[in-house]
Chain A
């Protein structure tokens, strides 16, 4: 029953991003874990030998009493993987064919992931908003109020200008010094080769990089009832297009683009997920949790 709160059309009726994130995550978690004992932060992961400087609070004193050796007990929640979300805020993200635009969907996804990371996993989380340059950067942190700052950053991320991966990603390297999980949320209207080439360096720090490709369903299967003039939302360029082309050639090109995105990202060791704005948000959350146990 809680699953319906993952429907983006339902979420669009909720005003605050924090509430949306809470609704999504609670619904998602409740759907996933039927056992009340399950908890991410309480889950035992491994023992590690004590080294000077470690926090004595994590020493397993029971084990020390039995073995007189000092081990630190580590939990999964304490793998401390940093989550950084790179959010594309270009004009094209404003496209919508139904109630939820791609930007809305991206916000819901990001907010839910922030909530999941900070509230449930206690992972540091940060946000980079970019279009053709970096517009906002919130350093990953677990400080109190971090979730609030992130959500404000999401709300302030109004789409404008156009997408240019090359320019802002040069700066991403400076921001992503520590390894963790890097999520890039964009509609990726660029050559897959350029995208991979631009994003691939993010892995070099050992981060797990995931591409969330957000598309509207009408971008995948557009409808035209007659020759129409289309306007590019980023460049304002106009083009007269006939329905026959849209029904045939366009779809082939779009399918080829998606296929290339999948293949090239896999080849580059990147994870790729296509998010369609009329589908529930659980795919994105599942992906995050799938990556989270890696704990690198």
Chain B
């Protein structure tokens, strides 16, 4: 027993009050005259004694009342078993992250879980969960041993990256509704990479006792850590594939690395992988056929974890896509700089086709990867309408706003007019880029932007647009506005090397390259992703419009099945890539994509969490599986049970009794006449 607020025990001194009133305070009275004391006798001594005896019950009640009040404020509690053993919930959590594919880890974990379930009392409820990228509940808390066993046996190995932080969060959410003691048995390989950045995320709530069951030991592992390959290429001879082969807790060894294209080994190399190190392998050509190809880089690891010996990537080979560049007749500089940058970009897949404004009326923008409007005052209305419809359906436009464009009231396609013009050169200076959103696809390689000098910029209200870059004075420089399924990228200056000197800087080429890839949609149509990443299938803001057009997506998973129902394909906005392999997708904008999905390579590092960290996590409990398999012997967690309400009930009863006794003793004495 203890007190939550022991300082209130100082209130026990108030017990002296009834002691003073009843025993110490002298009774004072006004002398009363009587005719004679002939028949009276002195009663002082007997009076006090009698008074003490008579009011003993009242004194006791008052003392008890003060005592209980002080104790109630001190908030006493007792430690007791917070629930009977039959109320305890046995929770089985099995890690099925990608690393559990190594050896017999998952099978061992399932076997251990079945043993724990078999050793529990029949009256105890149990629940089975799976810990992958997120915590997945397989059963409700039940006593049915058969259902629990089937749930454990149904667990399959996954491709996700495990995270013990998810387990901690899941337990905290669980204990908000489950107040009985929870005995959590975690069967995992205790991979150190599964620990969250903050240890506090994986700390268990107070009524959860964690029993750790490590099912693996550290082992050497070679893996293809990363592959750098173009997602789309035009000339196979100009394409390179760079692969990094890494060894975790491995000795130095020679490994054979193979490039496999559509199931056929296209090239093989032997590399020397240093001890516990990594090496880069380059394949100088990627001879893939036209269309999408399934490629992978594979090593002969000869270790216990074969699932991570290959890394997938998808490559789409096609003829160069055309980019329509619309410019003023008088402006030939912009075309020069933009075209040169587009051609210089690595693995360039675009051919610039420039037309002046007058020629644009007969052009169909849907035949181009994207359209660039370079400082145009106006464009033919028929072209603008066609272009706007194309953007609505998923087409993309890049608009550069030079000094000429500001003569127009409204910018074509973008639909807004410049609020102001900033001529920095007139004030004898220039401005620079002050803020860059590196997460924007067009600004992936933003180093060097701060060196560019901007002499002119048009000012547009960002509104609902995403600002990818701002000048030093806060003027938005690069805005991304979504219209329908498409995007309009607005560059608030020109490409002519007059309004700024950006085209002369090396950073202009990657900017044009990334912008071209982003606007052409190439970014999302090929390449490689990580398991549990999301693919945006359609625009969220235009879901109704897309739905009205009947635009559905089609997804075929690595196993050849369609993971989405027809209804979901018509409505769902994003899709999570839960398995490793190749996903074939057809987006709402009618574009086809082949996406390779690889497990998170942190799963390949099979280092275990240090023993002391495990002890700290489990609260000092013995982590050996043998000692923990017996749930019956598990120590019951003692909980602090507050006695406050009981004390308040006693106070109420004491107050009532005191009132009754006091009214009996201190009320008006009735004389018998």
Interface residues of chain A, those whose CB is within 8 Å of chain B, are: 92-93, 95, 102, 187, 189, 216, 219, 221-223, 225-235, 237-247, 249-250, 253-254, 257
Give B106-135 interface residues, CB cut-off 8 Å to A. none
Q: List 26 A-B contacts (CB under 8 A).
A: A95-B33, A102-B35, A187-B35, A219-B35, A226-B27, A227-B43, A227-B47, A228-B29, A229-B29, A230-B33, A230-B34, A231-B32, A232-B34, A233-B33, A233-B36, A234-B35, A240-B44, A241-B40, A241-B41, A241-B43, A242-B43, A244-B43, A245-B40, A245-B41, A247-B672, A254-B39
A93 to B31, CA, bound (A): 18
Contact at A231–B33, with CB atoms within 8 Å?
yes
With a cutoff of 8 Å between Cβ atoms, the chain B residues found around residue A187 in the complex are 35-36
Contact at B50–A244, with CB atoms within 8 Å?
yes
Chain A residue with Cβ nearest B46: A242
With a cutoff of 8 Å between Cβ atoms, the chain B residues found around residue A93 in the complex are 35
The answer to whether B37 has its CB under 8 Å from any CB of chain A is yes
A92, A102, A233, A250: the one within 8 Å of B40 (CB): A250
Contact at A257–B39, with CB atoms within 8 Å?
yes
With a cutoff of 8 Å between Cβ atoms, the chain B residues found around residue A223 in the complex are 669, 671
A93 to B32, CA, bound (A): 15
Chain A residue with Cβ nearest B669: A225
How far, in Å, is A257 (CB) from chain B's closest CB? 7
A245 to B51, CA, bound (A): 13
With a cutoff of 8 Å between Cβ atoms, the chain A residues found around residue B38 in the complex are 189
Contact at B671–A239, with CB atoms within 8 Å?
no
With a cutoff of 8 Å between Cβ atoms, the chain B residues found around residue A241 in the complex are 40-43, 47
With a cutoff of 8 Å between Cβ atoms, the chain B residues found around residue A244 in the complex are 43, 50
How far, in Å, is A231 (CB) from chain B's closest CB? 5
Contacts A225-B669, A227-B43, A234-B36 supplied; 20 other A-B pairs, CB < 8 Å: A187-B36, A223-B671, A226-B29, A227-B29, A228-B32, A229-B30, A230-B31, A230-B34, A230-B37, A230-B40, A231-B34, A232-B34, A232-B37, A233-B35, A239-B41, A240-B43, A241-B42, A244-B43, A245-B40, A250-B40
Contact at B37–A227, with CB atoms within 8 Å?
no
With a cutoff of 8 Å between Cβ atoms, the chain A residues found around residue B302 in the complex are none
Interface residues of chain B, those whose CB is within 8 Å of chain A, are: 27, 29-44, 46-47, 50-51, 668-669, 671-673
Contact at A92–B36, with CB atoms within 8 Å?
yes
Contact at B35–A242, with CB atoms within 8 Å?
no
Contact at A240–B47, with CB atoms within 8 Å?
yes
With a cutoff of 8 Å between Cβ atoms, the chain B residues found around residue A232 in the complex are 34-37
Q: Could you say which of A187, A189, A221 has the most chain B C-beta atoms within 10 Å of its C-beta?
A: A189
Contact at B33–A227, with CB atoms within 8 Å?
no
A254 to B672, CA, bound (A): 16
Chain A residue with Cβ nearest B42: A239
Contact at B671–A227, with CB atoms within 8 Å?
no
Top 6 A-B residue pairs of the complex, sorted by shortest distance between their CB atoms: A92-B35, A189-B36, A242-B43, A242-B47, A253-B39, A95-B35
With a cutoff of 8 Å between Cβ atoms, the chain B residues found around residue A245 in the complex are 40-41, 43
A95, A221, A257: the one within 8 Å of B671 (CB): A221
With a cutoff of 8 Å between Cβ atoms, the chain A residues found around residue B44 in the complex are 227, 240
Q: Could you say which of A95, A219, A230, A238 has the most chain B C-beta atoms within 10 Å of its C-beta?
A: A230
With a cutoff of 8 Å between Cβ atoms, the chain B residues found around residue A249 in the complex are 41
A240 to B43, CA, bound (A): 6
With a cutoff of 8 Å between Cβ atoms, the chain B residues found around residue A228 in the complex are 29-32
Contact at B34–A229, with CB atoms within 8 Å?
no
Contact at A229–B31, with CB atoms within 8 Å?
yes
With a cutoff of 8 Å between Cβ atoms, the chain A residues found around residue B46 in the complex are 242
| A interface, over-half SS | mixed
A161 to B157, CA, bound (A): 118
A229 to B44, CA, bound (A): 9
Contact at B35–A216, with CB atoms within 8 Å?
yes
Chain A residue with Cβ nearest B45: A240
A222 to B38, CA, bound (A): 14
How far, in Å, is A106 (CB) from chain B's closest CB? 13
Contact at A238–B671, with CB atoms within 8 Å?
no
A189 to B36, CA, bound (A): 7
Q: Could you say which of B30, B34, B42, B671 has the most chain A C-beta atoms within 10 Å of its C-beta?
A: B34
A227 to B669, CA, bound (A): 13
A230 to B508, CA, bound (A): 115
Chain A residue with Cβ nearest B51: A227
Chain A residue with Cβ nearest B673: A221
With a cutoff of 8 Å between Cβ atoms, the chain A residues found around residue B42 in the complex are 239-241
Chain B residue with Cβ nearest A232: B37
How far, in Å, is A210 (CB) from chain B's closest CB? 21
A93 to B34, CA, bound (A): 10
Contact at B40–A227, with CB atoms within 8 Å?
no
Chain B residue with Cβ nearest A252: B39
Chain A residue with Cβ nearest B671: A223
How far, in Å, is B551 (CB) from chain A's closest CB? 98
A230 to B41, CA, bound (A): 10
Contact at B35–A189, with CB atoms within 8 Å?
yes
A183 to B580, CA, bound (A): 133
**Contact A237 to B37, CB < 8 A, known contacts A227-B27, A242-B43:** yes
With a cutoff of 8 Å between Cβ atoms, the chain B residues found around residue A226 in the complex are 27, 29
How far, in Å, is A268 (CB) from chain B's closest CB? 21
How far, in Å, is A274 (CB) from chain B's closest CB? 15
Chain B residue with Cβ nearest A91: B35
How far, in Å, is A265 (CB) from chain B's closest CB? 18
How far, in Å, is B116 (CB) from chain A's closest CB? 75
With a cutoff of 8 Å between Cβ atoms, the chain A residues found around residue B673 in the complex are 221
A254 to B37, CA, bound (A): 11
A95 to B32, CA, bound (A): 11
A249 to B41, CA, bound (A): 9
A237 to B40, CA, bound (A): 11
How far, in Å, is A22 (CB) from chain B's closest CB? 30
Chain B residue with Cβ nearest A218: B34
With a cutoff of 8 Å between Cβ atoms, the chain A residues found around residue B29 in the complex are 226-229
How far, in Å, is A215 (CB) from chain B's closest CB? 8
Contact at B35–A239, with CB atoms within 8 Å?
no
Chain B residue with Cβ nearest A254: B39
Chain B residue with Cβ nearest A95: B35
A92 to B37, CA, bound (A): 10
A37 to B156, CA, bound (A): 136
How far, in Å, is B5 (CB) from chain A's closest CB? 41
With a cutoff of 8 Å between Cβ atoms, the chain A residues found around residue B32 in the complex are 228-231
With a cutoff of 8 Å between Cβ atoms, the chain A residues found around residue B50 in the complex are 242, 244
A233 to B32, CA, bound (A): 10
With a cutoff of 8 Å between Cβ atoms, the chain A residues found around residue B37 in the complex are 230, 232, 235, 237, 239
With a cutoff of 8 Å between Cβ atoms, the chain B residues found around residue A235 in the complex are 37
How far, in Å, is A96 (CB) from chain B's closest CB? 10
How far, in Å, is B215 (CB) from chain A's closest CB? 84
How far, in Å, is B46 (CB) from chain A's closest CB? 7
Q: Could you say which of B38, B43, B51, B669 has the most chain A C-beta atoms within 10 Å of its C-beta?
A: B43
With a cutoff of 8 Å between Cβ atoms, the chain B residues found around residue A230 in the complex are 31-34, 37, 40
A216, A243, A250, A257: the one within 8 Å of B669 (CB): A243
Chain B residue with Cβ nearest A246: B40
A221 to B43, CA, bound (A): 18
Chain B residue with Cβ nearest A190: B38
A242 to B50, CA, bound (A): 9
Contact at B39–A95, with CB atoms within 8 Å?
no
A241 to B43, CA, bound (A): 5
Contact at A95–B34, with CB atoms within 8 Å?
yes
With a cutoff of 8 Å between Cβ atoms, the chain A residues found around residue B31 in the complex are 228-231, 238
Q: Could you say which of A102, A187, A241, A253 has the most chain B C-beta atoms within 10 Å of its C-beta?
A: A241
Q: Could you say which of A93, A95, A228, A244 has the most chain B C-beta atoms within 10 Å of its C-beta?
A: A228
With a cutoff of 8 Å between Cβ atoms, the chain B residues found around residue A247 in the complex are 671-672
Chain A residue with Cβ nearest B37: A232
How far, in Å, is B34 (CB) from chain A's closest CB? 5
With a cutoff of 8 Å between Cβ atoms, the chain A residues found around residue B672 in the complex are 247
